[in-house]
Structure formats: C-alpha cells, structure tokens
C-alpha cells in the first residue's frame, strides 16, 4: 500500500499559491490502486481559487475514475495543526468519495483520519432531488 500522505506532501510542492503562500497537496487512491494528486491553485480574485482536494477529484474523474471509487484520501499542509477540507471540498468529497477514509497530515508528522460523515454530517445529496 503506497504511503498516500507522502504522495500528498510531494503534490503540495506543485501548489500555485503566490498570494497566501498556503500550499496544500492531496492524493486520492481508487479501489483499483490508482493514485491521483492535486494541489491548490490560487487566482488573484480568490473566489476562483481551487483547492487541492477538488483538483485531485476533477483530475481523477477527467482521467476515467468513477465517482465512489475513491477509498483513501490524504490532505497535506504545512500548519502546526491539521488542516481539514473547506466546506466546498467537503461537499465534493461527500458526492464523489462518500466511503473514503480521509487522512489529514502536516509536515511535522501529525495525522488523523476521518470519514466524510465525520467532517460533513447530514450532507446534501441526490436523494433530495428525487
């Protein structure tokens, strides 16, 4: 089993964060063992900035991974405490990776794992649309 946390830390190096200098990396693993990475990409308007988690999900889907196939996700940031996904990323993960184990890591070696239900209880889902 690959060290997903180390892969997320490596992905962090590719972040485009000239405004905040807050670099985040993410790595997703599918049920078939494929790994997709992402990093945050900032824009001067901030509202158009995209987080590492969403980059990784969109990259995976655009390369043929199927929603629901993600089993593990690691999110890495260089902060003294762990950095959880923002609300938008939590909603994306609730839809595309509902059963995945989400592990938050920092560069000091601190880590903790969650499910999306831990991070976003009572999430919006397609059952509301039926």
How far, in Å, CA of 74 to CA of 95, rounded?
17
- State the architecture of 4-129 in CATH terms: 3-Layer(aba) Sandwich (3.40)
Please list, in sequence order, all residues whose beta carbon lies within 8 angstroms of the beta carbon of residue 77, skipping any fewer than 6 positions away: 12, 22, 23, 24, 25, 83, 106
Q: Please determine, for residue 110, whether its predicted confidence score (pLDDT) is greater than 90.
A: yes
**Is 34 an annotated catalytic residue?**
no
Q: What pLDDT score does 45 carry? A: 92
Domain ranges of the chain: 4-129
Length of the chain: 130
Q: What pLDDT score does 1 carry? A: 67
Q: What pLDDT score does 128 carry? A: 65
Q: Which of 34, 42, 53, 122 is catalytic?
A: 53
What single string gives the DSSP state of each residue in 29-53? EETTS-EEEEE-B--TTSTT-B-HH
pTM of the model: 0.93
Over residues 17-30, the mean pLDDT reads 97
């Amino acid at each position: 089993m690959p060290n997903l946390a180390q892969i997320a830390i490596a992905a962090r190096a590719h972040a485009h964060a000239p405004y905040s200098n807050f670099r985040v990396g993410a790595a997703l693993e599918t049920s078939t063992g494929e790994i997709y990475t992402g990093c945050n990409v900032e824009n001067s308007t901030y509202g158009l900035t995209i987080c590492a988690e969403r980059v990784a999900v969109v990259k995976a889907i655009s390369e043929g991974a199927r929603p629901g196939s993600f089993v593990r996700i690691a999110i890495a940031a260089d902060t003294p405490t762990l950095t959880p996904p923002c609300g938008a990323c939590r909603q994306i993960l609730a839809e595309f990776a509902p059963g995945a184990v989400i592990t938050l890591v920092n560069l000091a070696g601190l880590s903790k794992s969650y499910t999306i239900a831990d991070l976003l209880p009572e999430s919006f889902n397609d059952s509301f649309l039926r």
